[in-house]
Amino acid sequence: MFTGDAVLGRGTTVVNPPDGDLSAYLRSLRRMQDLHPRTIYPGHGPTVFDARAKLEEYVAHRAMREEQVIDAIGSGHRTIAEMVPAIYAEYPPELHELAGRQVLAQLMKLEREGRVAHTGPPERAAYELVVARDCERCGRPALPRSRFCGRCSLVVLQEGP
């Protein structure tokens, strides 16, 4: 499988918003896994002879970063500038700006999934975790920032006030 820049021979791919979309990138990784390639010929770096292990490593790496972002917000690091030194402590400061773009990509994915929300201008937005709530009508998980689940939202809308 020829992966271009999506899977590299060494290191990890930079997903830089707005061109880089982490949700789409993860979907691409899953599609690559579904093809069960044996060998990866990346756009950069050495040939990867264990494609399966490399793809698993890539997916696990993003999952780890996502957990770190959620942990960082949970422990009070609310802006990207606060999150980056906590998450990328082992990287030199000159890489922190690019690391911040990776955190932004994670946050955009989490926000789209309704798991975090932000207030304030994008460049110094403060993020918070969205607390899961129960539907007021049936008790199933409510939609993000809604009092009702998907089904009950529809019913409430149809029945009117």
Closest distance of CB 151 from Zn ion, Å:
6
Q: Which two tokens stand for residue 147?
A: 């009092």
- In the complex with Zn ion, the residue whose CB is nearer, 70 or 130, is 130
Q: Which is nearer to Zn ion, 50 or 136 (CB)?
A: 136
Antiparallel, parallel or unpaired: β 116-119 and 126-129? antiparallel
Task: Check residue 133 for interaction with Zn ion (CB under 5 A).
Answer: no
Judged by CB under 5 A, which stretch of 29-37, 84-92, 103-111, 151-159 contacts Zn ion? 151-159
For residue 118, what are its two tokens? 């932000």
DSSP per residue, 43-81 = SSSS-BS-HHHHHHHHHHHHHHHHHHHHHHHHTT--SHH
CA gap 4, 43 in Å, rounded? 4
Shortest Å, Cβ 113 to Zn ion: 19
Count of CB atoms situated within 10 Å of the CB of 87: 24
Of the residues 81, 129, 132, 138, which one makes contact with Zn ion according to CB under 5 A: 138
**Which one of residues 101, 118, 137, 147 is an interface residue with Zn ion (CB under 5 A)?**
137
Q: How many residues bind Zn ion (CB under 5 A)?
A: 6
Beta bridge partners of 126: 119
Token duo for residue 106:
């994670």
**In what helix (H) or strand (E) does residue 24 lie, and over which residues does it extend?**
helix 22-34
Per-residue x/- marks for Zn ion, 71-110, CB under 5 A?
Answer: ----------------------------------------
Interaction between residue 135 and Zn ion (CB under 5 A) = yes
Q: Could you give the CA distance from residue 102 to residue 8 in angstroms, rounded to a whole number?
A: 16
Q: In the complex with Zn ion, which residue's Cβ is closer, 68 or 153?
A: 153
Interface region with Zn ion, contact rule CB under 5 A, candidates 67-75, 85-93, 117-125, 141-149 = 141-149
List interacting residues with Zn ion (CB under 5 A).
135, 137-138, 140, 149, 152
